[in-house]
Structure 1
């Protein structure tokens, strides 16, 4: 799962992009993405759709089967510097393993390349009135000049949309370091607005307790050096306008290439495609076995059991995305490269990102916005996707609940393109509530995954019961839609 760039951001924020999509991570400075290779089904005799497919598929997929794929991803990471991140041998080996497994199962498979950027930070130091202050760099922040930036602090209005509009910077002196509050729009928008106002750097304070970690500016032009602060430090600084601030950032941004893996059945109507995806890359810090080896493994187990030539009415397409951790780049480039005709052939998109969290929740993306939290509903048909996923979770013995479409995973570009979407999620750094612990087990007051984006995200942390349940749920859902997309607009 990608860092926190778009949490609780209305979907309308996702409506603009330099590649014709609604994502802050699209790269306006990059050349137009290549048209993705959509596998062309090999001509075969069309079998009569098998009405028993959903239940049969659930009976055949197993958590143990998914876990075997996780073991291979762990082995790949261990053999390649401990990770499977963008432009690393570990990621390339992951691509080859997934592609080979799908080809062996009878799928038409492509591994299209796309351009992507990588980010690393060598030094982060913030000093306020001579005192060091804890801060974290936002991914894709430019570096400061040698010696850093020293300037007075300018404090924006600390409301829910702080820094989201050019008018917010009307009284900011040129060359100031700006303090904004998280919320209302992507971090990249806040930083670019500060740049347009001729500020020198940006501090973004969290709007909830704790530090602002794992955040990103995305692929947004004209951003400034930008770091995050905890809510407490932001509250303290909000009353100190004019104080001297020094910010030192040493960062590196490099142009790379990566690959997606895209596979399609040779049977089923290729003009009505049921699509499911999971990101294949990890962060640099660790092997990414829950994030997102778990989603990859559950989807790969389902694909293998379904087979490349199943008795279905609709074609089924599986995608394993690259560079998700750098800002949803693989899925964004894929959707951006689709022609209008090919985009309209995708009936719906299912997303799996983190489905084996050690303190697992059972969450399905809130397609109808019935929870009335954060972003609005998905495109028409997303409510049907959510309902089917929750029904399938219920057959495993758990009652799931909704979770916001907050833009942090690969459903984002599909929603922005008007494609109905949904997916399953067992939680990342968020805290499990007492009510959830009573309903699902686990520990209240603790993160769903304490190893999120860390070196300890290894196979021994996987909740195998959650992995099994989510594999069953996605298999039954794919089986259902492979037979009929009733409830999804044409």
Structure 2
């Protein structure tokens, strides 16, 4: 390694040191500035908006549009100039109730909601046909239906029985269609309860239903015996509806090293979505309202807050944002923090397991930031599956590090988790997930409080420096001057 001239080396050593802790300690504590009282005020507003607008805040519906106006209004009062990014998404609805039954080897009628659900974006159809089990996993989730080869020998015209796992529902359904299926039934994984409440992401031509694992496994046995015939009937419609993202960023900070903090703003049509995801949306709104108090010294990197639309339709708002962003602007995003369901009534304190193999470099560092923070407070955490299921997914696809916390959705709380966090083992983390009862009475205020602290802490830390995530150290005026001076010397000689 070449040496700088002695004078330059001394100056550079002094100015390239670690940022003094005293300087960081002098900053306001964002976690203390963000209060549950502020978050509750936003949650109450979202509840009232839903109550007066059809009972929900679903994308494309009045409740969502009013929610957007509320967030924009709150941001403007806090000194932001928010941008509304509009887009269209594929609309889907059931015109009449679906039907699902077994016609052979014996008759059996199945109940909607309990025994089956219509997959979002399912097509219409009325099919009675033999059923074929596709690539049944020996155990666990498996990857049934994810490859065209899984359908080798598939009888055209039959109904495909496919277990949930690994790839998207859309891929499974499309592969089944290509193989000649007349309808598709996707049954849940053995570690998940109830029928799959999922989406195909875009309008599909075949009927697609979802069932619980137990029913799916029972149907698979009959199908493997060659005796199973099913009746599937769906009556759906689809079209285009408008939605939007709300984007606002801090006045101060580097615009070439942006920290994106996001949460989805929409609910499902079935309810007001106060935990899913009023909790995350309200938390980052409260953080956005207070973060300006960190000032220029505390905001070395711009923080860009985002409220995504149409997440419940298949991460469409965040996907639209990431895919339409020019590559040069995408490269300026240091990382994405995502907060989706932070107050589940029977929840856990889950930290996205970004250290998983294959995740973008830096995602593991974000996981550690949250875990270290809670460890210092002696508050337990558990890993949350890093599967791209929420709005950080499109960022992962773009190779951008991501992290966040959540408290659980329809999954079942284990006995071990109940010992650690309290609550009831054997019950869902949120029994009102995607339901009418996801109201303000569905909030776990203790979890929300500590999760809000973690959101604020991580945001403040990363606004100051993203060094452990993407190698970008804090740039002070002295550091910039030293770097410039260092660049002027090569091999002990001044170069200009």
- TM bracket, shorter-chain basis: 0.7 to 0.9
Q: In the alignment, is the contact (CA less than 8 A) between 2:388 and 2:396 conserved in 1?
A: no
For 2:483, the equivalent position in structure 1 comes to none
Alpha-carbon RMSD across the aligned residues, in angstroms, is 1.8
Distance in 1 separating the partners of 2:68 and 2:23: 31
Deviates more, 1:467-476 or 1:389-398: 389-398
Deviates more, 1:152-161 or 1:105-114: 152-161
Distance in 1 separating the partners of 2:353 and 2:358: 7
For 1:372, the equivalent position in structure 2 comes to none
Distance in 2 separating the partners of 1:110 and 1:390: 33
For 1:180, the equivalent position in structure 2 comes to 162
Matched, 1:327 2:314: yes
**Which protein is richer in helix relative to its size?**
2
Q: In the alignment, is the contact (CA less than 8 A) between 1:55 and 1:476 conserved in 2?
A: no
SS in 2 for 1:239: helix
Which 5+ residue runs of structure 1 have no aligned equivalent? 1-48, 370-375
For 2:198, the equivalent position in structure 1 comes to 215
Q: In the alignment, is the contact (CA less than 8 A) between 1:269 and 1:313 conserved in 2?
A: yes
Distance in 1 separating the partners of 2:132 and 2:431: 35
Distance in 2 separating the partners of 1:353 and 1:435: 23
Q: Aligned-pair distance for 1:163?
A: 1.5
- Distance verdict in 2 for CA 1:400–1:256, change over 3 Å: same
**Structure 1 counterpart of 2:108, from 131, 137, 145:** 131
Matched, 1:404 2:372: no
**Structure 2 counterpart of 1:299, from 267, 284, 287:** 284
Equivalence map 1:299-448=2 (5 Å): 299-307=284-292, 310-311=295-296, 312-369=299-356, 376-448=357-429
SS in 2 for 1:422: strand
For 2:436, the equivalent position in structure 1 comes to 455
Deviates more, 1:121-130 or 1:388-397: 388-397
**Structure 2 counterpart of 1:259, from 241, 244, 247:** 244
Distance in 2 separating the partners of 1:53 and 1:458: 39
Deviations 1:447-469 (A, max 9, x none): 11111111111111211111111
* Number of residue pairs aligned between Structure 1 and Structure 2: 432
Deviations 1:327-362 (A, max 9, x none): 000000000011111011000100000011111200
**Higher relative contact order, structure no. (Cα contacts within 8 Å, ≥ 6 residues apart):** 1
For 1:63, the equivalent position in structure 2 comes to 36
Deviations 1:438-487 (A, max 9, x none): 22222222211111111111111211111111111111111111111111
**Structure 1 counterpart of 2:171, from 189, 192, 208:** 189
SS in 2 for 1:270: strand
TM (norm. structure 2) is 0.84
Structure showing greater Rg: 2
Distance in 2 separating the partners of 1:149 and 1:170: 22
Distance in 1 separating the partners of 2:354 and 2:458: 15
SS in 1 for 2:336: strand
Q: Aligned-pair distance for 1:179?
A: 1.4
Q: In the alignment, is the contact (CA less than 8 A) between 1:54 and 1:477 conserved in 2?
A: no
Matched, 1:283 2:268: yes
Q: In the alignment, is the contact (CA less than 8 A) between 1:192 and 1:223 conserved in 2?
A: no
Which 5+ residue runs of structure 2 have no aligned equivalent? 1-21, 472-496
For 1:475, the equivalent position in structure 2 comes to 456
Q: Aligned-pair distance for 1:161?
A: 2.1
Distance in 2 separating the partners of 1:393 and 1:54: 20
Distance in 2 separating the partners of 1:318 and 1:181: 37
Matched, 1:167 2:149: yes
